[in-house]
Structures are given as structure tokens and as C-alpha cells.
Amino acid sequence: MKYLCLHGAYGSAKNFQAQLSPFLDEVKGRDDYSFMWIDGIHETAPPDGFQDYFGAAPWHRHVKFEAADFLQRIRQFPQEQGAEDSMRFLLAGEELIPAESLTEALERVFKILEEDAEITGLIGYSEGSMIAASLIIEEQRRRKEHGTRRRIERAIFFAGWPPMAVVDGQASLVLADSSDAMIDIPTFHVIGCNDPYLNGSMSLYTTCDEDLAEMFDHGQGHTVPRDPRTMKELVTVLDKFGKANRSFRFEDN
């Protein structure tokens, strides 16, 4: 399976490859994994003091970022609330991402899928996982409304965030307790129990079909695990998950 890899906010294709290098080493030489890496559309810069954290420049985002006090709110990200309530707190009624920017990011990925028929999987980290999940939801909508063939058959999310969809001209969160939409393909969720934004990962997980979703907790924070032992365990679980869902096919595609 060929995966399109979507980095997180203030990331890049090059830096994401470095982040995932332990995973890539573990699956190296296997014909069931191949990858395509892309930079986000928008070149940007991390907040002051975080340049070293995000790796070497240039840095990119998949979407434009509008909410002025978002960084302050994310530092106060509530853990005691439920996952969905935490995400609503984060937005606080604002349009965090302009609908035009979300649409632009998704259309770009759709174009890449058109140009490379081998891509049937997505790997996303943080903001990249939001784009990946949003694309799956949008694929569902296009299939239902226009009969468009669906492409994405599997997704791997690292430190996930829930999907968004354009509703009534605004980019809105898709949350399990307020939306009928559900990610209905096999999904593998890599989370860290010490992630300060764990509720983001959990609110993504709950939007997915629980019969087709698997979770792996690496016990760390908002990061990709890098130690070889953990990565070997992760790939072992991922392989079992893949074998269990090998026969997955869209019923109406």
C-alpha cells in the first residue's frame, strides 16, 4: 500500500521523514509499504522559542491559521473535560481555520490522488492527521452526493486531531457526539498517554468505526515514538491490524 504522508503544523516533508525514521527503518524493504511526502501549502514560522522544537526551516502548514489567541488557549487545553468538550473549548465559537483554507488543502490532496493512482492510504501527524481525517469525511460526502469513487482504504494517525468539514460556509469540527459522520475505513491510532493534547487524539478515535479502529499507546507525549523497542512493538500490532482488515473493501464503490 502506498501512503501519502502529511506532516504536522510547522513541519515539512523532510522533517516528517526524520520524525518517522524509526518506523521507516522497521518496515524498510517490505513491498506492503511505500510512501509519498509533501510539504504543506503555506510556508510559516513557529512561535518564538519553538524553532528548535520543530526542526530545520523551512516550516509549513497545510492550512492558514487565524485565531489570534489560539496558542494561549492550547496552553490551557483542558484535560478534565471529555474529549469533544475539550475541542469545543479550543475553538470557543471561532472559525479557527477559514473554510477556504480547509477546502484548498483538501483539493490539493485530491489532486495528488488523481495524479498517483497507487496511493490508497494516509499517514498524518497532528495537523496532518486532521487533514487526513477531513479528506476521508469529504470522500464520503462526494461518494454519496456525486457517486465519486473513494480512494483511501486505510489511515495511520500519530497524535491525532479530529476531522473538520465545511458546513454552511464555515469549517466546523466533526465530533462523535454532535455529528452523524463516521470514518468507516480501517484506522490505526498512535497515541501517547502523556500527551497534553490527548483529548484531540481521542476525539478523532471516537469519530471512527470502533470495529475498524485500533489504538497503540506509546506512553509518551505529543510526539512520534523513536526508541526501537517501542517501534518494533508498534509495527507488530500494526501488522496484525493490517492482516485482520486485509479483506476490507468499500461495499458501494
State the pTM of this model: 0.94
Share of the chain above pLDDT 90, in %: 76
251 within some domain: no
Taking only the tens place, the pLDDT of each residue in 169-195 is 999 999 999 999 999 999 999 999 999
- As separate numbers, helices (DSSP H) first and strands (DSSP E) second, the chain gives 8, 10
Cβ neighbourhood burial of 218 (10 Å; 0-12, 13-18, 19+): buried
21 within some domain: yes
Task: Supply φ then ψ for residue 51, to 5 degrees.
Answer: -60, -45
52 within some domain: yes
Of the two residues 85 and 51, the one the predictor is more confident about is 85
Q: Which residues have a Cβ under 8 Å from the Cβ of 165 and sit 6 or more positions away? A: 134, 137, 138, 141, 171, 172, 174, 181
pLDDT of amino acid 39? 99
239 within some domain: yes
**One-letter amino acid of 90:** L
Q: At what angle do helices 198-205 and 83-91 cross, to 10 degrees?
A: 110
Over residues 107-125, mean pLDDT: 98
Active site residue 129: no
40 within some domain: yes
Nearest one of 137, 117, 141 to 187, comparing CA atoms:
137
pLDDT of 239 higher than 80: yes
Query: Which structural domain, as residue segments, surrounds residue 17?
Result: 2-244
**Which CATH number belongs to the domain containing residue 189 in this structure?**
3.40.50.1820
250 within some domain: no
107 within some domain: yes
Which of 101, 126, 129, 134 is an active site residue?
A: 126
Q: Which residues have a Cβ under 8 Å from the Cβ of 143 and sit 6 or more positions away? A: 149, 150, 252, 253
**How many folded domains does the chain comprise?**
1
113 within some domain: yes
Taking only the tens place, the pLDDT of each residue in 58-91 is 999 999 875 445 666 666 666 657 889 888 877 7
